[in-house]
Structure 1
Amino acid sequence: MSKLTRLVQAVGTERPSLQETICHRTANILNEHLEPQ
């Protein structure tokens, strides 16, 4: 499995407020390091 898939599965087992925090942090990291095409 890819690392992103494992991350999503792991976050899915956390409580909703933590899921939201992790989702926002992950989105911010991806936004900083990936350039849209």
Structure 2
Amino acid sequence: MSSPTFAVAIMAAGKGTRLKSKRPKVLHEIGGKPLLLHV
């Protein structure tokens, strides 16, 4: 039996104005690492 294949979409485009931050969304930390490093 083989493993199932799946796709993932990371919604991280744009300026992140709703975050009220000067940093881009992909540089905000999640679990101690920038979002970009989780991809």
Q: What's the TM-score bracket when you normalise by the shorter of the two chains?
A: under 0.3
* Structure showing the higher helix proportion among its residues: 1
Higher strand share: 2
User: Which has more radius of gyration?
Assistant: 2
